[in-house]
Amino acid sequence: MKVYKVSRIAFMIIVLLIMKVVPSWGQSVFLEKRPDDGSIHALGNGKMCIYEKGPGIVMAYTGQFSSPSFLTLEWVKDSLAKSSQVRKTGTAIWTHILFKGDAETSKLLDFVDSESPCFVRKVQTKSQITFRLDLQQYVQLIDNSSRLTSNQKANGILMVVPSGTIFYQSYVYPRILYSQLVATGNARIETVPGSSAINIICAPGESSIFIIGGLEYDEVMTNTKQVLSGSVESLLDRTNRYWEDFTKGRKDFASILPASTPERARLLKTIDDVAVLLKTQQSIQGAEIAGYPYPLGYVRDQYGVSRGLLALGMYKEAKSVLNFYWKIWEKYGFIHNAQAIGIDGVFHIHENDQVESPGYLITQAFDLLKATKDTAFMHQISPMLDWAFLVQQKYLVKNMLPFNGDETYVAGGLLPRSTLNDGSAESTLLFIESGQKYMNWLKIRHSQNANYIAKSQALIETVKAHFMENFWQDGVLWTNNPARAALAELPQFRHGVCESAGPNCLMNKYGGIVWTERNENNRYVCAACISRDILPKAEPTKYNLLSVALAPFYMEFSTIPYDMLKKPVADILNNFKTTGAMTSKQATYSPKSEIFIVGYDYGFLLSALTKLNDPDALLLYNKTLSVVDNEGAWAEYYLNDQPKGTRCRPWESAINLEALLDWAMTQKQK
């Protein structure tokens, strides 16, 4: 076999030739080679969401977004093989270049069709390559090649996922899920004996691979027939038009941002990366998936996503997020921490779900109203806003609300779960600020229920009047206040996380949150752990997570004057300037310490410094841009500025990008 050495210049020429072969790519293709740094990117159209790492598929939701991800796809390569990828600007259309040594061997064009739940991979290869499709063992395979009609020879396998399959933790998909695998051209499909894997072997020349989904069998087969009746080029053309229309509908930051904007080219690229990231992970129901391991619509996550969508001018998408909750509330009369996407009646219920999340819902509604002036939609969803305001009130103890069980600092291990019934500064602030927005709206509407408004206004003012004594001491905004738990009537049972997590813990055994019961020491443990060694009482402790002092700046709260928060903001900034790293905790770190933070702390601190008009905001602007990965996304957590946890995260990416844009726009005005 001949080996062709390809220089960087030659690679650029190859990409330019590709552009000539596929004119619809236009002149906006990024020409840089992006090596694999562990980044993950999404391809989707609201009906299907595919997550790739390089040329491999790491997770695939082929039906509803809340459905089992039952397959992965891997390029079978040797030690000399490597790849790079490039995304066409403004689209989720990716090209992967495969190499052996320095010689290009293959080119893969990947996209999800704009109209049908269909992943398309067009393969051009000089030598035979193999992709291994690994399937969960419960998947049944049916060779239905003889039933496929195509303008060329087609190999096909119908993949069948049984009803009742778990799609996340202990939640089950209620129907049989069908997906169709098709290979055409110079590709063939071979099952691997003794395993649940399939090899897709592409001989030299051109081949196409399709993974086609749908809600039911009839829809999958209809989609398959339509896809095979055309060509990859026709699918690509309409997908290009779809993305071109989407990109035209966004704010044109290339025209808005002045040439003097620091790191302007990188910022513009990141704007495009995040806009596509958000669009690909938004379902047709409106909900944004929380990331590839979390196929649910989380209230808090989608609040940050909505803010990012509004900042980008994606108003239709932002309204769709809130409409997703309205449709669920309209049917069930409640919202929980997270809801399944496209499946009725599946709720992810954490501890104290009726606080924090409702405040985000109300705030999100008024963010949308401010941006769009859509008063008709506000009138429509006002019953849900009424519920969101009222449902929190029964949790008020000593004018404090507790923590939601999926609160970031608890879930991330920065705050112990034993504090959940303590007073929460953030949750209480959300009640005050969102409630005041809602009362102001009712007053403007000249609501007939004047008594309700008066009583609600009085309650908000009382909680606000006691906020400082509950959470502010010696110049510190405390994250929690144990005094609430000491006075609260704690429930005997709650749905959430077992605090014990012993060897026979139901949570560990069944892979999800469970019902827990309060033991004699006020600790919540599952049915298997409550009869074991008694979990000791947790000592009341006050915590000062500095990040909490940043939330009022991001949320634009007015309960605490910004000037009073300058010190904790300065403490975080000094940690950053001293160690070169961010921190979510209050401590002094040496440069060699392990520093673990939540992924949106960069944006939170930048937002605070921008609002304080601090000249050091430029440092955080550069820092926030520096940790974005090769594919323009931020991660769930960072350890010493390296991504940890889930990559390609909508919530962190939306928050950090909005902070970058806010700072850049303030510089434009100077």
Vertex 290: Cα angle to 631 and 334 (nearest 5): 160
Neighbours of 422 (CB within 10 A): 25
Mean pLDDT value of segment 474-502: 92
Whether the per-residue pLDDT at 115 is higher than 60: the answer is yes
User: Which residues have a Cβ under 8 Å from the Cβ of 616 and sit 6 or more positions away?
Assistant: 573, 577, 609
List the 296-298 sheet strands across, edge first. Answer: 296-298, 338-340, 347-348
How sure is the predictor about 670, in pLDDT bands with cuts at 50, 70 and 90?
A: low
**C-beta neighbour count of 152 within 10 angstroms:** 11
Give me the sheet containing 524-525, strands edge to edge. 493-496, 514-518, 524-525
**pTM assigned to the model:** 0.90
pLDDT at 431: 98
* Spatial separation of the C-alpha atoms in residues 70 and 86, rounded to whole Å: 27
As a whole number, mean pLDDT of residues 585-603 equals 67
Helix axes 450-471, 425-444, angle to 10 degrees: 150
* Percent of the chain at pLDDT exceeding 70: 91
Query: Does residue 348 surpass a pLDDT of 80?
Result: yes
What is the three-class DSSP state of 14? helix
pLDDT digits (tens, 9 = 90+) for 160-177: 999 999 999 889 999 999
pLDDT for res 639: 84
Please list the residues that pair with 190 across neighbouring strands.
199
How many C-beta atoms surround the C-beta of residue 370 within 10 A?
10
Length of the chain: 670
Q: Summarize pLDDT for 301-344 with one digit per residue, the tens.
A: 999 999 999 999 999 999 999 999 999 999 999 999 999 999 99
For residue 374, with 0-12 CB atoms within 10 Å meaning exposed, 13-18 middle and 19 or more buried, which class applies? middle
User: Is the model's pLDDT at 12 over the cut of 60?
Assistant: no
Nearest to 648 by CA among 290, 112, 295: 290
Q: d(Cα 658, Cα 636) in Å, to the nearest integer?
A: 16
The answer on pLDDT for 87 being more than 60 is yes
Residue spans per domain, the chain: 8-248
Residue 191 predicted with pLDDT over 50: yes
| Higher pLDDT, residue 587 or 313 | 313
Q: Predicted confidence band at 78 (pLDDT cuts at 50, 70, 90)?
A: confident
Residue position matching structure tokens 């634009």:
556
By the 8 A CB rule, do 550 and 608 touch? Answer: yes
pLDDT exceeds 70 at position 209? yes
Domain 8-248 maps to which CATH number in 1.10.10.10, 2.70.98.10, 2.40.50.100, 1.10.3720.10?
2.70.98.10
Amino acid at position 51, single letter: Y
Whether the per-residue pLDDT at 215 is higher than 80: the answer is yes
Question: What pLDDT, on the 0 to 100 scale, is given for residue 249?
Answer: 94
Q: At what angle do helices 315-332 and 299-311 cross, to 10 degrees?
A: 150
Residue type, 155: N
